[in-house]
């Protein structure tokens, strides 16, 4: 006997202006809050006592998830309890993971507080904790609601804004739609229309491959092989490290003889949005290279790397890890 079925999901994305607008509909709702601890001061008036503060990337691991399950049990949380996760991508990845496995799945609402988490981490259902390698343990568990509150972005520094913009430029180039026109025009991407476009264009890519199995969603990994290694080595914000990884991947694919979108043009586009060239200095230093081997996408010694052939068209290069390391030493 053969059974087949498809899993569809629906996420509602809502934009609010002020943080206080978040509390409008909370009265009487069975809800627990998991909040990025750096935002504590913004939540003095939180109308709820079931709050768990989470300290970001360094806490994004399994033992912290255990402590969070214990807290949920103390809160008497059940399957219908809403877990509202408020924070950057590290917090939303972690909170979504916890929600996906507690009681085999509880109601999940994400409130991304960085631009990157609004356009990327909170969108598309990937949850994760770090274990041995970054994001090695996780699940697919899309939030039923994503609430974007513009006021949160006011306290982000320029690096964090640029990190989010870099991810918007990535998705724009992969999709070659309206967002790319905005990117090319140099318009400031930090507005509701561009954020909505980035979200819709990411959905456009993933909707036929939610669980990353057919290869369609994989294009979003453009820049990740080198970007994750640069992120781990340098501690640069995720989007900025991925941007450096994208530029290096374009340079590398051309070096290998592939027809690819010119890296100089990509650099120019990034620069137009304040993503400066000096970040790309990482590519001149070889110490980060050893982190490539730790990337979870490593399949034995062969690594699949996404590059951009042209706007709207990505390709994959499979190459042996040792060859990549040798090539990069030559390329620098
Ligand atoms: N699930 C996915 O599809 C996906 C996609 C991309 C990235 N990610 C993950 O997202 C994480 C990176 O997310 P990130 O770039 O948002 O970083 P982050 O969550 O690590 O936050 C960066 C810093 O900003 C602080 N912060 C959060 N909101 C703030 C605000 N409004 N004002 C001031 N400071 C604020 C945080 O406390 C932290 O110190 C990584 O763990 C990455 O693996 C997941």
Q: Which secondary-structure segment (H or E) carries 36?
A: strand 31-36
Rounded Cα–Cα distance for residues 94 and 61 (Å): 8
Q: Give domain status of residue 70, yes or no.
A: yes
Q: Give domain status of residue 39, yes or no.
A: yes
Nearest to 9 by CA among 121, 119, 145, 117: 145
Ligand 1 lined by 38 (C-beta under 6 Å): yes
Q: Which of 133, 155, 177 is the last residue of a domain?
A: 155
Give how many domains the chain has, as a whole number: 2
- What does the pLDDT read at residue 58? 92
CATH code: domain of residue 62: 3.40.50.1970
Looking at the fold, whether 75 and 218 belong to one and the same domain comes out as no
Q: Is the pLDDT of residue 177 over 80?
A: yes
What spacing in Å lies between the alpha carbon of 93 and ligand 1's midpoint?
A: 9
Rounded Cα–Cα distance for residues 162 and 120 (Å): 13
Ligand 1 lined by 130 (C-beta under 6 Å): no
Q: Give domain status of residue 3, yes or no.
A: no
DSSP state, 299?
A: B
Looking at the fold, whether 185 and 145 belong to one and the same domain comes out as no
State pLDDT tens for residues 102-122.
999 999 999 999 999 999 999
Looking at the fold, whether 127 and 232 belong to one and the same domain comes out as no
Looking at the fold, whether 226 and 100 belong to one and the same domain comes out as no
Ligand 1 lined by 50 (C-beta under 6 Å): no
CATH code: domain of residue 291: 1.20.1090.10
Taking the CA of residue 152 as reference, the ligand 1 atom at the shortest distance is 31
Looking at the fold, whether 70 and 215 belong to one and the same domain comes out as no
Looking at the fold, whether 207 and 226 belong to one and the same domain comes out as yes
Rounded Cα–Cα distance for residues 43 and 45 (Å): 5
Looking at the fold, whether 169 and 150 belong to one and the same domain comes out as no
Looking at the fold, whether 271 and 125 belong to one and the same domain comes out as no
Ligand 1 lined by 113 (C-beta under 6 Å): yes
Q: Is the pLDDT of residue 6 over 80?
A: no
Q: Give domain status of residue 2, yes or no.
A: no
Looking at the fold, whether 31 and 117 belong to one and the same domain comes out as yes
Q: Give domain status of residue 1, yes or no.
A: no
State pLDDT tens for residues 93-102.
999 999 999 9
Looking at the fold, whether 78 and 205 belong to one and the same domain comes out as no
Predicted structure pTM score:
0.94
- Parent domain of 243: 161-331
Looking at the fold, whether 120 and 78 belong to one and the same domain comes out as yes
Rounded Cα–Cα distance for residues 306 and 317 (Å): 6
State pLDDT tens for residues 158-171.
999 999 999 999 99
Query: Other CB atoms closer than 10 Å to residue 50's CB: what's the count?
Result: 19
Q: What is the mean pLDDT of residues 267-279?
A: 85
What spacing in Å lies between the alpha carbon of 59 and ligand 1's midpoint?
A: 12
Q: Give domain status of residue 56, yes or no.
A: yes
State pLDDT tens for residues 21-79.
998 878 889 999 999 999 999 988 787 889 999 999 999 999 999 999 999 999 999 99
Three-class secondary structure of residue 13 per DSSP? strand
Q: Which of 135, 155, 175 is the last residue of a domain?
A: 155
Q: Which secondary-structure segment (H or E) carries 182?
A: helix 178-185
Residues with Cβ within 8 Å of residue 44, at least 6 apart in sequence: none
Q: Which of 155, 188, 204 is the last residue of a domain?
A: 155
Nearest to 240 by CA among 155, 165, 316, 139: 165
Q: Give domain status of residue 7, yes or no.
A: no
What spacing in Å lies between the alpha carbon of 327 and ligand 1's midpoint?
A: 32
Q: Give domain status of residue 298, yes or no.
A: yes
Looking at the fold, whether 120 and 97 belong to one and the same domain comes out as yes
Q: Which secondary-structure segment (H or E) carries 195?
A: helix 192-206
């Amino acid at each position: 006997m053969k059974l087949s079925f498809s899993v569809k999901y629906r996420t509602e994305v809502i934009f609010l202006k002020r943080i206080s607008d978040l509390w409008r509909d909370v009265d009487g709702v069975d809800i627990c809050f998991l909040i990025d601890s750096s935002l504590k001061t913004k939540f003095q008036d939180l109308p709820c006592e079931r709050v768990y503060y989470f300290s970001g990337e360094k806490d994004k691991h399994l033992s912290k998830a255990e402590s969070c399950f214990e807290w949920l049990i103390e809160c008497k949380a059940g399957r219908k309890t809403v877990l509202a996760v408020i924070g950057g991508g590290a917090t939303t990845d972690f909170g979504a993971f916890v929600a996906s496995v507690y009681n085999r799945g509880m109601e999940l609402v994400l409130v991304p507080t960085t631009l990157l988490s609004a356009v990327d981490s909170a969108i598309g259902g990937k949850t994760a904790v770090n274990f041995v390698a970054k994001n090695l343990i996780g699940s697919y568990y899309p939030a039923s609601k994503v609430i974007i509150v513009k006021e949160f972005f006011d306290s982000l520094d320029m690096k964090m804004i640029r990190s989010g913009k870099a991810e918007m430029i990535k998705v724009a180039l992969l999709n070659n739609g309206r967002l790319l026109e905005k990117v090319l025009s140099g318009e400031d991407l930090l507005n509701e229309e561009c954020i909505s476009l980035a979200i819709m264009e990411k959905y456009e890519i993933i909707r036929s491959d939610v669980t990353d199995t057919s290869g369609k969603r994989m294009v979003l990994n453009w820049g990740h092989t080198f970007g994750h290694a640069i992120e781990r080595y340098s501690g640069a914000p995720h989007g900025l490290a991925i941007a450096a990884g994208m530029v290096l991947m374009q340079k590398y694919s051309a070096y290998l003889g592939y027809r690819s979108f010119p890296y100089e043009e990509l650099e120019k586009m990034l620069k137009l949005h304040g993503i400066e060239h000096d970040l790309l200095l990482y590519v001149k230093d070889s110490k980060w290279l050893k982190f490539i081997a730790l990337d979870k996408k490593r399949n034995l010694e062969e690594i699949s790397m996404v590059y951009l052939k042209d706007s709207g068209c990505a390709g994959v290069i499979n190459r042996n890890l040792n060859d990549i390391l040798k090539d990069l030493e030559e390329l620098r």
